[in-house]
Structure 1
Amino acid sequence: MDRKILDKIKKCLRLAQSSNANEAAAAMRQAQKLMEIHGVTADDVAISDVESHMAKAGAGMTPPSHVAMLANMVAGAFGAELVYCPQHDGERWHGRFEFYGVNGAAEVAGYAFEVLGRQLKRDRNAYLATLSKRMKRATKVRRGDLYAQAWVNTVAREVSPHQRSEAEDKTIAAYQAKRWEEPLETRQARDNTKGMRSHDHDALRQGHRDGKKVNFHQGVNGTRQASIGEVAS
């Protein structure tokens, strides 16, 4: 779809809301004419407002549970949707999350995910460094992921899901229907925490403690802005 044509149509539709009846009628006729000439539907105009943002997941073909949890949390915080997009470069898989939404939701959600993801990775690695070097790798992975899940769950307690308007929901639904004719297959995240042992509870406690240090502000008065930092010790 030609972006210039869409912009012209949207400009006419905005003018069609003018308090000047003659100006509004003329703008609406022009919008309808352009839509007819170029085969543009009302849904095409609506979904042109949907933007997307790609964010590296730091994962392979299937993301671990804590990474998927983090992505879903920030998407919900800003009223965005997301889809996991693994790609193979001939040697290995590289995963990315595509956030999409309206009114800047995709970009700010992608930004929040990337910043929080780096902070979580740093904290998880710091926790793993405290474990015995003689510990089995599977045990380290399990405890590291338990720590990360507790970290994300703790941060999520301070987050309120963004309530999209009915119009935004309709726009997103139209975009999804246009882009994906068939419903997307649900991809299950990789859970490395199965077989939890009693000694693993310390990982949960430490993840909770460190998660409480994260300062995540979503913005106020309906604005979609992310401010992320760490509470001073």
Structure 2
Amino acid sequence: MSDNAAILAKIKKCLALSKSSNEHEAAAALRQAQALMRKHDITDRDILLAEVSEADTPAGAKKTPIRWEASLSHLIARAFNCDHLLSTGFSGGRWKFIGPGSAPEVAAYAFSVLARQLRKARAEFIATKCKRLIRASKTRRADLFCEGWVAAVRQLVANIATTSQAKAAIGAYMAKHYPDLGDFTPRNRQGERAMLKGDYSARSDGWQAGKAAQLRNGLAGQAKQAALSQQ
């Protein structure tokens, strides 16, 4: 641990003690935290930034992701109290999750686990339900299957993370490290086409398959601990 990290850790410990029900202990801890901040020229913003880290995992596209993958990344980021972005480069795209404590690592892992399950389910759907379709129609209908799958998975992850007060910390981190972050519109192969009976069936099949998705049990505990440590 660097000297600066050690000082920040000591300040955070003092700030935590300043919430003690013992008035004398709380007041002493707050004075010590303020003294350390003045001595080492550390601001409230520095403390906020120290709470946040990031973790990444491969994306399925180099530049513009398909809509169902963007929806899955957004779902995971919200469930684990993180922000997220797509980083692009010659080696391919990567989803980055930004949040307090260990939440980003857990979010990146959860995304990779679910994305792997989804791609397997997508391949099985194409092999069994799309045999008579041309390639473009197979891909489009498989996208609808994936959208249904992601919608079902929302129930799986919605209650994993405990809500924390991390918004300000993440905002400060994003402003410092990604000040010029742009937006993108995910690809939607359905476009303006009217939904056909087979399209509705594909989305329904995805919903049913998504209800069988699984996350390792330990993820729930990790996520809750990451969130609780920031409260």
Does the TM-score normalized on the shorter chain lie above 0.5? yes
Pair 1:193-2:170 in alignment: no
Question: Residues 127 and 80 from structure 1, CA distance in 2 versus in 1: closer, same or farther, beyond 3 angstroms?
Answer: same
* Structure 1 equivalent of residue 229 of structure 2: none
Task: Report the secondary structure of 1:214's partner residue.
Answer: coil
- Is the 8 Å Cα contact of residues 52 and 107 (structure 1) preserved in structure 2? yes
Mapping of residues 12-161 of structure 1, within 5 Å? 12-14=14-16, 19=22, 21=24, 25=28, 28=30, 31-89=33-91, 94-131=92-129, 135-160=133-158
Q: Is the 8 A contact 1:78 1:224 kept in 2?
A: no
Give me the TM-score of the superposition, normalised by structure 1: 0.78
Equivalent residue of 1:97, what SS?
Answer: strand
Considering Cα pairs closer than 8 Å and 6+ residues apart, tell me whether 1 or 2 has the greater RCO: 2
The structural deviation recorded for 1:9 is 3.5
> Is residue 219 from structure 1 mapped to residue 217 from structure 2 by the alignment?
no
3-state DSSP of counterpart to 2:89: strand
Point out the structure with the larger helix share.
2
Give the paired residue count: 217
Asked if structure 1 preserves the Cα contact closer than 8 Å seen for 2:18 and 2:25, the reply is no
CA RMSD of aligned residues (A): 3.0
When normalised by structure 2's length, the TM-score is: 0.78
215 and 15 in structure 1: CA distance in 2 versus 1, 3 angstrom threshold: closer
- Structure with greater proportional strand content: 1
Structure 1 residues 139-197: Cα deviation after superposition (integer angstroms, max 9, x where no partner): 111011111001111221444365634x3222222323333345x32211111222255
Query: What is the match of residue 202 of structure 1?
Result: 201
